[in-house]
Amino acid sequence: MPVGSLAFCPRVVYNGVTLDFTIPPTPPEPASNGIGGSDESGSGLVAAFEIRRDQMVTMTLRFKESEAASVLAWLEYAQRGNTFTFRMDKNDAASAHTCYLTSPKMGDKIQLKRDGTQIGLFTLDIELRDTTGTRFVYAITGL
């Protein structure tokens, strides 16, 4: 199977640009983050309030050195608070989410790391937040 047709390679669409990754990321890890607060009284009663619940996903992107400039351009755009569409699998429209980049956020260094297992391969840990609170759709293993 040619590298360009591997399953579960992401697609990012931002500002009229389409970025198709040719190597799958690590399996995504879901997270749920409540925005609000809580307090505990002296008697041990807990009071909490929730403003919203963010659905997020973390993963390690893997990409070729030839794709690095395009990946950096997207991340620089996303760090400015702009939304983008992220598909877990570029061939599956149902896996599309409109997202914010929560990590690396503005002020954090975008540090591409060389993968020690293959020459010309970079990795980068990212965290995405769905703009609507929808859980991310993915089924890497089929389990």
Indicate which CATH number applies to the domain containing 59.
2.40.30
State which H helix or E strand residue 68 sits in.
Answer: helix 68-79
Residue 22 is assigned to a structural domain of this protein:
yes
Q: Which residue has the higher pLDDT, 116 or 99?
A: 99
The reported pLDDT for the residue numbered 6 is 57
pLDDT(81) > 80: yes
Residue 140 is assigned to a structural domain of this protein:
no
Residue 21 is assigned to a structural domain of this protein:
yes
Residue 121 is assigned to a structural domain of this protein:
yes
In whole numbers, what is the pLDDT of the chain averaged over residues? 86
Q: Which domain holds residue 97?
A: 3-130
Residue from 62, 53, 59 nearest 6 by CA: 62
Residue 73 is assigned to a structural domain of this protein:
yes
Name the 3-class secondary structure at 31: strand
Average pLDDT over residues 2-24: 82
| Alpha carbons 6 and 99: distance in angstroms, whole number | 23
Residue 138 is assigned to a structural domain of this protein:
no
Q: How many domains does the chain have?
A: 1
The proportion of the chain whose per-residue pLDDT surpasses 70, expressed as a percent, equals 90
Percentages helix, strand, coil for the chain, rounded to the nearest 5?
15, 45, 40
pLDDT(140) > 70: no
| Alpha carbons 121 and 23: distance in angstroms, whole number | 9
Q: How confident is the model at residue 2 (pLDDT cuts 50, 70, 90)?
A: very low
